[in-house]
Structure 1
């Protein structure tokens, strides 16, 4: 699947108004009355404090946005820096947070429409009664979802018009109010605690600036326009908030706003405008509130759908959401799903819940975004070259992360619990769904794994545990003998390259039982002087194939048995290992055969010189032969190997024609139709393999299905063949679950 791209059709003013338009609506036209009721004279401080917290994150978002102008904004930065687990948390929180906020704005929109037209309290349709405010909110949300469906250019133009009108209305309101302002009218302060609680409530007003980065992929000249839009929108809106709150608090009698907020359905900012400017002022403010809440919802729907789009592109959710509309050039499926969620939230949640859910989820994102900046800087990512850098690094992102997380503590505990539930859901979603589909690791985990010898074991294990494995085929190579290192790595790299995968070279250092592993970690060079040289050679040999490579030293009191655990820990899809004293025609040792399943596919190489020129693949069907075919196909693609398929006819059970038919069908099923087909009528499998392997440079044979007791008593076909042929032998065993009976006596 090719990556879809979005057209760059948002200019600097459109980018700025996305931020301003999102923030200005709820902050001025919905929440001031409640803020003054809760915090008193410190309501102004709450808005300024919220702006200061937002500004810290805006600085970090500007740097990240100029370095990575990608659709998805904060989600994309967190996913790239901290990895897909945190990316899933940020993505779901950002997506759901914006959907909650959009629903909140649309309910505010409904309040203004209801006030303008004097609508009834509610209406009943099909036996369901909904408040008129919510009915209007549903209709408005559907309208703006359609606007976003049509395209970003139309959205940007609409934002420009709305924000210009709002600035004019608010400028007149502020100027007239300043002439009437009297400090004696300021309400009493309700103290620090209520002020911080109010800051948490109104923080939903500061979501717009990061949403600019969500459409960074569509902004013209993002190096210049993105920082200006992000930082400028926060400064402009914070200044407007402060002026309007001061005017509202000082231009009317003490207690007037608190009475409105607590005892009536009237909108505080409209009633203040009525006192200051008469009916015309109230009408102008009603129109302004209508436009403001509409612009907030419009911009939030735009940004939230792009986050959904980015998550689909990274396979955190299904990539089918990536589909771009042929006519409009928008991710129409992402927009449709986001719109449906907004409609559901409008119906089921009260307005206070919508606002506070939007606040908490975005505070989580902002904290993670600041941490993402620190990771990108400290990991020294080569391609990370921002055109704008935050001042006073690392103080700015550290303080930004701290205050974002700390403010959550002052929000309604029930909302906090609900938000924690979202975080748990997002983590479970990644581990249960996205981890097996997404492919990109974060810079943090790559930085840890590249220094696995220096990092604490707990950090390395955690990085491996949450590492994505979807689409990234991982081939682990346990190395022991330097003489066979190059051949094993070459085989593994050839397979990994054909599968778009990664080679994981491991060296297991066996530590005596009397020696602690912690001591061995500090003296690994003394215990195994050739460790570093062996892994360095493996890295060079794998890089010659232009495949990603990881190297790991594993300290264990076990040797061969540790391979199974290492395969699980490193999420291996295939293990390529050398033939050793523990190989008995199966990947397991005799003891492990009774207690363990093969954790992934295994290839065991009896190395007599790695030469993939002419490869013989005997087959009688079955899963191990399937793996043999996959390996043969990879070698053919990498080395243009000549493949010969051998089937030994069971003389008493089938005719030559039936044997040929089986081999033809098997080859077609495994994409090996260009191989040479050989049907041997001798009936003796061991003799046939030995004869046809004389001219082969490599033999790939499936592991025997005979059980442990059978092999101990009567020997093994595989063991006999390996002893009789002169070429290298590659034993293939597919991952499987086997019962104890099957382990002892084999399969029927």
Structure 2
């Protein structure tokens, strides 16, 4: 339980919550993930996108139902604890914090790579520090900045779609709609896992449950709205880029959307796409820091993390210590390591997180139809997670094992 003085301010309505979710999903993933997904799935790229969307929808449905029932910061950490037991909530929170912290560093380095490639680490650290300061000032300021970022990114993506589909070099035959001719099941599943990275942002709405007005009404409306808008955008972008590059050309592209507008005959737009990618990465980073700090707050309240991180700022009503701690860790990672391979690792952690969410939602009702989405979501999360690249699966499983071991040691020490 939390005291009145430690509660966060409920300042976000439906529109703000949708914007936060879009700011998380319309990030650097759509500018980068299509290329490795195309390499994995070939002509089955669109099928991989559809599979990722189905899993994301089931996860969103489960998360929305649970968030309305438990409108507190922490998301699936809270749901797992309340529905399945303390260990499963802890494991979900551990998966989210570790996986998304690495993803924060990846987003920061993406900003650096687009803004000033020769000094990407310096730019990445600066981006983390600035956005941590924005979050420190209150969630409304973060939502306002996210709204600006979403508008810019949507404008850039709309330009890419219009240029590609409106050019004389667009060819519907490059969509490879007959996916069974050149795609393997394993490749499609791997592509779904990589593309899922771009869908996972709607979790940020649930982790901000304690800062949403009328959460029982707002969250169930905001999550499917954000996911639906993002899916429409992703399909439009994927179809437009494929129509110009084809799955083979897309798989070899270093900067897929920039390469697509060049191939469409408008190379002058490529720098604008680069700016859009940098802005998108900033939006993702902003929302990620928000989500990780709120889950850190929830775990600190239960003493799974240091209790000092559970303090809420008396004026701004934000978990300022948790935000500062997350910012420092992410800045250190961005300064020291290259986390371009973090997409797979982050996807594994987030899929584990949503597996717990679906298992929690399964316990809400016994009616068979009410359990379809949680069941499909749970199976989908597990299958897609183990289909990711072997290195990502090994690293993710190792991190989960370390977290479970730490939990066991803490419980053993407390019982003595």
1:550 is matched with which residue? none
Out of 417, 433, 438, the position equivalent to 2:394 is 417
**1:279: Cα distance to partner?**
4.3
Out of 159, 167, 183, the position equivalent to 2:172 is 183
1:84 is matched with which residue? 86
2:192 is matched with which residue? 199
Alignment of 1:113-512 (within 5 A): 113-114=115-116, 119-120=117-118, 132-180=119-167, 181-186=170-175, 189-252=182-245, 255-261=248-254, 267-276=255-264, 278-347=266-335, 349-377=337-365, 392-433=369-410
Structure 2 CA distance for partners of 1:258 and 1:399, relative to 1, 3 Å = closer
What is the alpha-carbon distance in structure 2 between the residues aligned to residue 375 and residue 434 of structure 1?
25
Name stretches of at least 5 consecutive residues in structure 1 with no aligned partner: 121-131, 262-266, 379-389, 438-468, 470-598, 600-748
**1:41: Cα distance to partner?**
2.4
What is the alpha-carbon distance in structure 1 between the residues aligned to residue 375 and residue 126 of structure 2?
42
What is the alpha-carbon distance in structure 2 between the residues aligned to residue 66 and residue 23 of structure 1?
21
Further displaced range: 239-248 or 133-142:
133-142
Structure 2 CA distance for partners of 1:140 and 1:174, relative to 1, 3 Å = same
What is the alpha-carbon distance in structure 1 between the residues aligned to residue 216 and residue 190 of structure 2?
36
Structure exhibiting the larger radius of gyration computed from Cα positions: 1
Contact 1:47 1:238 in 2 (8 A): no
Residue deviations 1:167-186, cap 9 Å, x none? 22222321332223212334
**1:19: Cα distance to partner?**
1.2
1:16 is matched with which residue? 18
Contact 2:80 2:89 in 1 (8 A): yes
**1:88: Cα distance to partner?**
1.5
Structure 2 CA distance for partners of 1:253 and 1:241, relative to 1, 3 Å = closer
State the number of aligned residues: 408
Further displaced range: 411-420 or 427-436:
427-436
Structure 2 CA distance for partners of 1:434 and 1:314, relative to 1, 3 Å = farther
Query: More helix per residue: 1 or 2?
Result: 2
TM-score w.r.t. length of structure 1: 0.52
**1:223: Cα distance to partner?**
2.1
**1:435: Cα distance to partner?**
7.1
What is the alpha-carbon distance in structure 2 between the residues aligned to residue 237 and residue 391 of structure 1?
29
What is the alpha-carbon distance in structure 2 between the residues aligned to residue 434 and residue 328 of structure 1?
34
Please give the root-mean-square deviation of Cα atoms over the aligned residues, in Å.
2.3
Residue deviations 1:507-564, cap 9 Å, x none? xxxxxxxxxxxxxxxxxxxxxxxxxxxxxxxxxxxxxxxxxxxxxxxxxxxxxxxxxx
TM-score w.r.t. length of structure 2: 0.91
What is the alpha-carbon distance in structure 1 between the residues aligned to residue 214 and residue 343 of structure 2?
33
Contact 2:43 2:247 in 1 (8 A): no
1:683 is matched with which residue? none
Identify the structure with bigger relative contact order (alpha carbons < 8 Å, sequence gap 6+). 2
Query: More strand per residue: 1 or 2?
Result: 1
